[in-house]
Structure 1
Amino acid sequence: MAEPSGVLVVDSLTKSFPLPGGRPPRDVLAGVSFTARHGEFVSVIGPSGCGKSTVFSLLAGLDTPDSGSVHFGRDDGEPADAHCAYMPQRDLLFPWRTVLDNTTLGLLVRGVPRAEARRRARALFGVFGLTGFEDARPAQLSGGMRQRAALLRTVVQERDLLLLDEPFGALDSLTRTDMQSWLQEVWQRYRWTVLMITHDIREAVYLSDRVVVLSPRPATVLREVRVELPRPRELSILAAPEFAALERELLGLLHGP
């Protein structure tokens, strides 16, 4: 079967939230539309509070839009969230479970037998730099290792789309840079379709094929900026004039009139 040309189509999503005291509802999304194609890495940036995480909640089935739709390249009758695996900002690893058993949680929830879930997760431990830590507890891992375990838990579900909500936001600068390089490496190996929220413009440019820029709340799409930098991207590209030009363009969109 041919791969779908458009894994994700977000079409005119609107969302508002009620406020107490009879006040008018707070409008958060005002017609957000964008796509993510098979094997593409797309970042979503915008001002704080503009509705980025709300978009992810709608994609993951944690909430419903007031209007608009989300659909995928193939029509199998399943809800949109059945195609997504969601990695929230915090790793949310259970401290009483081993790292291996933490990484199988998504599969177990879907009804995969425990032995099969452990087999699938264990097969990825080498790729994710976690070999030898299968029986460790999360408290024994560094911050970067915890994030890799959380991403493994997301990836092993084998969904069409990975939703990464600021996956490296809590890490220190050096660890964050290491994790960005590592994520690029494994993404190029597997070519997952990724949609990532980030507040870090440099991170968005370094990792992405396209960057979707949202306006202040209520959010609309200001522009989609294509990142046509060669891959694989070495860290030295951060100092390249073409990289700086993309950063300036995105900064201008976020902070311009």
Structure 2
Amino acid sequence: MTDDVRRLVVDRLTKSFPRPGREQPPRHVLDAVSFTAEPGEFVSVIGPSGCGKSTIFTMLAGLDVPDSGSVTVGADLAIAGRCAYMPQKDLLFPWRTILDNTILGLQVQGVPAAEARLRAAELFPTFGLSGFEDARPSQLSGGMRQRAALLRTVVQNRDLLLLDEPFGALDSLTRTEMQSWLQSVWQRYRWTVLMITHDIREAIYLSDRVIVLSARPATVVREALVELPRPRELAVLTSPEFVALEEDLRAVLHDEARRALAEQTDPGPTISH
């Protein structure tokens, strides 16, 4: 399969949602959002809280449709069948074993359970889950549950992985360990990854590029290339290049947060009588 066939293109994506009450105008969430993800590239999307990051993902996953604009992988508009989506919560079924949790996506695709178990079991050593095939989710740590959720995502063998705050619910130490682990596994398999995160450091540490969204209605206000060598050790977090990029992106986000706050508190024009 050529690279062009696997290239993600988000082109002028626009979306609004109705509000309660007939007199309320629709809430404009996305305003002509455009960006790309090249095959094998790790791209992170950051932006102010509530700006519409997860709305983009629901459309990429085929769970909603834009008002205008398009999302394609190559020339294929039917992108939902080419993405695997990992939400923030692991959503493991407590009554299923870990192995049977990891095959859910394959079963939805119609893969027989026996074949799905064989395909998933092959990845358990890579994901640090060997010996836990028959365990229940309650017997796993938070980091192990997230690894199981990611295994469930990647075993589907889709062109694009959508990771929505995959480590947001973890404590700081576990989160750092998971970031290092994800980097090493990604370098081995070179999946095309699009990740939402609120953590600027996480975005820079893991990514080839960082897309910065404005306050709602979101549009792309910055696209930063991360030119740090791989593999990246944790020491890179204190390097001058890393710190400079982190400060730059933080300043952009602060400007957008201030703009959003100003618009919320603006009483509008004064009418003279």
TM-score range, shorter chain: over 0.9
The question of 1:62 aligning with 2:63 is answered yes
For residues 155 and 43 of structure 1, the distance between their equivalents in structure 2, rounded to whole angstroms, comes to: 17
Residues 48 and 215 of structure 2 are in contact (CA less than 8 Å); yes or no, is this contact kept in structure 1? Answer: yes
Residues 86 and 164 of structure 1 are in contact (CA less than 8 Å); yes or no, is this contact kept in structure 2? Answer: yes
For residues 74 and 32 of structure 1, the distance between their equivalents in structure 2, rounded to whole angstroms, comes to: 19
Q: Which residue matches 1:47?
A: 48
For residues 68 and 100 of structure 1, the distance between their equivalents in structure 2, rounded to whole angstroms, comes to: 39
How much has 1:2 moved relative to structure 2?
A: 2.7
Q: Which runs of 4+ in 1 moved over 6 A?
A: none
Number of residues of Structure 1 aligned to a counterpart in Structure 2: 255
Q: Which residue matches 2:142?
A: 143
How much has 1:73 moved relative to structure 2?
A: 1.8
Q: Which residue matches 1:20?
A: 20
For residues 14 and 2 of structure 1, the distance between their equivalents in structure 2, rounded to whole angstroms, comes to: 29
The question of 1:181 aligning with 2:180 is answered yes
Q: Which residue matches 2:224?
A: 225
How much has 1:252 moved relative to structure 2?
A: 1.1
What one-letter code is carried by the residue in structure 1 that aligns with 2:133?
E
Q: Which residue matches 2:31?
A: 30
Deviates more, 1:140-149 or 1:6-15: 6-15
- 2:4 aligns to what SS in structure 1? coil
Residues 5 and 37 of structure 1 are in contact (CA less than 8 Å); yes or no, is this contact kept in structure 2? Answer: no
Structure whose alpha-carbon radius of gyration is higher: 2
For residues 75 and 69 of structure 2, the distance between their equivalents in structure 1, rounded to whole angstroms, comes to: 18
How much has 1:5 moved relative to structure 2?
A: 6.8
Gaps of 5+ in 1: none
Q: Which residue matches 1:131?
A: 130
Q: Which residue matches 1:10?
A: 10
Aligned pairs (5 A) from 1:155-234: 155-234=154-233
For residues 255 and 133 of structure 1, the distance between their equivalents in structure 2, rounded to whole angstroms, comes to: 43
For residues 6 and 229 of structure 1, the distance between their equivalents in structure 2, rounded to whole angstroms, comes to: 25
Query: What's the TM-score, normalizing by structure 1?
Result: 0.97
User: Superposition RMSD on alpha carbons, in Å?
Assistant: 1.0
Q: Which residue matches 1:72?
A: 73
Residues 5 and 75 of structure 2 are in contact (CA less than 8 Å); yes or no, is this contact kept in structure 1? Answer: no
How much has 1:74 moved relative to structure 2?
A: 4.8
- 2:36 aligns to what SS in structure 1? strand
How much has 1:149 moved relative to structure 2?
A: 0.1
How much has 1:6 moved relative to structure 2?
A: 5.7
Residues 71 and 80 of structure 1 are in contact (CA less than 8 Å); yes or no, is this contact kept in structure 2? Answer: yes
Q: Which residue matches 1:111?
A: 110
- 1:186 aligns to what SS in structure 2? helix
The question of 1:243 aligning with 2:242 is answered yes
Residues 161 and 194 of structure 1 are in contact (CA less than 8 Å); yes or no, is this contact kept in structure 2? Answer: yes
For residues 5 and 48 of structure 2, the distance between their equivalents in structure 1, rounded to whole angstroms, comes to: 30
Gaps of 5+ in 2: 260-273
Q: Which residue matches 2:267?
A: none
For residues 170 and 246 of structure 2, the distance between their equivalents in structure 1, rounded to whole angstroms, comes to: 21
For residues 33 and 239 of structure 1, the distance between their equivalents in structure 2, rounded to whole angstroms, comes to: 31
